[in-house]
Amino acid sequence: MAFDSKEFFGKIKSGASSAASTVGEMGKAVGKKTGEKVELVKVNSKKHDLEKEIDGLFLQIGEKVYQHSGPSIEKAQFNDLIAQIDEKYTQIKDCVYRAAVLKGLAICPKCGWECEEQSAFCPKCGAPIPAPGPEDTSGE
């Protein structure tokens, strides 16, 4: 039987290319996982920064109250600081939501508890969990 070098090398080639594509697929999956982890670290550190900024704003309010010399103090005097705190709390909520999505969890719209994405009801408060899917842009 004659040695068919063409067939022999053809087999090696096809074997090598299928192995390469398998490695490529694996690399892609790992790359995606790593990307999600990096994103999760970023989201968590942003949340941490926001919490520190909120602490700073509360300190500013406390200082103003401390330095105030009149008989009473109006909450309205701190409206700008309060608005900044509210804004940062909204951003924190967004971070919590994004972190949960990255971890494959769903956030209870009522109490904020992290639930399994496939659960129909929140295990903490019993509120229905919206099914995962296209982003709901209809509001709160």
Burial code of 83-95, b = ≥16 C-beta within 10 A, e = fewer? Answer: ebbeebeebbeeb
Rounded CA separation 97/66 (Å): 36
Rounded CA separation 54/60 (Å): 10
Q: Give the total of residues touching Zn ion (CB under 5 A).
A: 8
- The least CB distance from residue 93 to Zn ion, in Å, is 14
Rounded CA separation 48/65 (Å): 26
- The least CB distance from residue 128 to Zn ion, in Å, is 9
User: Residue 12 interacts with Zn ion (CB under 5 A)?
Assistant: no
- The least CB distance from residue 112 to Zn ion, in Å, is 7
* Contact flags string 86-125 toward Zn ion, x per CB under 5 A: ----------------------x-xx-x--------x-xx
Beta carbon nearer to Zn ion, 41 or 111: 111
Do residues 33 and 103 touch, judged by C-beta distance below 8 A? Answer: no
Rounded CA separation 110/90 (Å): 15
Beta carbon nearer to Zn ion, 83 or 111: 111
Q: Which residues bind Zn ion (CB under 5 A)?
A: 108, 110-111, 113, 122, 124-125, 127
